[in-house]
Amino acid sequence: MVDPIKVYPSKPAKVYFYGTCLVDMFYPDAGIAGVELLEREGIEVLFPQDQTCCGQPAYTSGYHDQARSVAKAQLDLFPGDWPIVVPSGSCGGMIRKHYPDLFKDTPDEVKAAEVAGRVWELTDFLLNVCHIKLEDLGEPTTVAMHTSCSARREMGVAEVGPKLLGQLKNVNLVEQIRPEECCGFGGTFAVRHPEISGAMVSEKVDTLVDTGAKEFVTTDCGCLMNIAGYAEKNQKPVSGQHILSFLWARTQGKGGQ
């Protein structure tokens, strides 16, 4: 469940950047865009090179021993007390919400809870901690947005993306029907139950196409590879990118570094 009350920290001098494995291998541009946006806000970005994966794939598959061993390898990466920002609601939710359960009654219980408490989804951090002001330098365009289920329900940031996009004066944000419905990714769900996942993503793509937008943005790379991958394979007229890539591209070149 979402924390009942979120207490945002004041804007820090530094943050730890937890890139996530999908961004690392498939969407590093989204990660770099996030870093650029943070740096433009005057924040120093620390990137622990020993980071790998939050452990979620094993966790949701039921292999908790393996999830714990991978998660344990992440716990020592953030020795300072700076916030930890994550360009994903899903991986953020894994650490923030599930690490405390995963390490309950283990010697790492306290550390896991401490790390979990410092985790922020990156767009939420930009809007509500950095109080970012975006100046749109792009041509007029229309986009739709898909907020991941974990960003919406575990990290409670459903309102953040639309607010950030709302700051961009040349961007017309349109809403698809059933915006809160899952795109069908669900990690290993997509390969364990391919037909169900396929039925879900096909409807998601149809609703996005119906908005008339040629492009959608999303908070999570899992949803991105699912939705955009389906649209590409089935030649649907919509493409996607991570919201951080979009925000950076729209505002590039402005602001003091």
Site for other proteins in 20-49 (CB under 8 A): 21-29, 31-32, 35, 45-47, 49
Instruction: Measure the CA–CA gap between 209 and 215, rounded to whole angstroms.
Output: 9
Q: Which of 138, 141, 189, 207 binds other proteins (CB under 8 A)?
A: 189
Report the residue number, 62 or 140, with the smaller CB distance to other proteins: 62
Smallest separation (angstroms) from other proteins to the CB of 2:
9
Reported residue count of the chain is 257
Q: Which of 11, 12, 14, 60 binds other proteins (CB under 8 A)?
A: 60
Smallest separation (angstroms) from other proteins to the CB of 92:
14
Q: Which of 194, 210, 239, 249 binds other proteins (CB under 8 A)?
A: 194
Residues numbered 217 to 256 that lie near other proteins (CB under 8 A) are: 225-226, 229-230, 232-234
Smallest separation (angstroms) from other proteins to the CB of 176:
14
Q: Binding segment for other proteins among 69-77, 113-121, 124-132, 239-247 (CB under 8 A)?
A: 69-77
Residue showing tokens 């950095």: 130
Residues numbered 200 to 219 that lie near other proteins (CB under 8 A) are: 200-202
Report the residue number, 27 or 171, with the smaller CB distance to other proteins: 27
Q: Which amino acid is at 26?
A: F
7 touches other proteins by CB under 8 A: no
Residues numbered 100 to 159 that lie near other proteins (CB under 8 A) are: 101, 105-106, 149-150, 152-154
- The tokens describing 132, both together, are 């970012």
Q: Binding segment for other proteins among 61-69, 115-123, 137-145, 247-255 (CB under 8 A)?
A: 61-69
HEC profile of the chain: CCCCCCCCCCCCCEEEECCCHHHHHCCHHHHHHHHHHHHHCCCEEECCCCCCCCCHHHHHCCCHHHHHHHHHHHHCCCCCCCCEEECCHHHHHHHHHHHHHHCCCCCCHHHHHHHHHCEEEHHHHHHHCCCCCCCCCCCCEEEEEECCHHHHHCCCCCCHHHHHHHCCCCEEEECCCCCCCCCCCCCCHHHHCHHHHHHHHHHHHHHHHHCCCCEEEECCHHHHHHHHHHHHHCCCCCEEEEHHHHHHHHHCCCCCC
Report the residue number, 168 or 183, with the smaller CB distance to other proteins: 183
The region that residue 156 occupies, defined by phi over 0 for left and psi between -120 and 50 for alpha, beta otherwise, is: left
- In this structure, are strands 44-46 and 119-121 parallel, antiparallel, or unpaired? unpaired
Smallest separation (angstroms) from other proteins to the CB of 14:
11
Q: Binding segment for other proteins among 62-70, 111-119, 122-130, 239-247 (CB under 8 A)?
A: 62-70
Smallest separation (angstroms) from other proteins to the CB of 53:
5
Report the residue number, 102 or 168, with the smaller CB distance to other proteins: 102
19 touches other proteins by CB under 8 A: yes
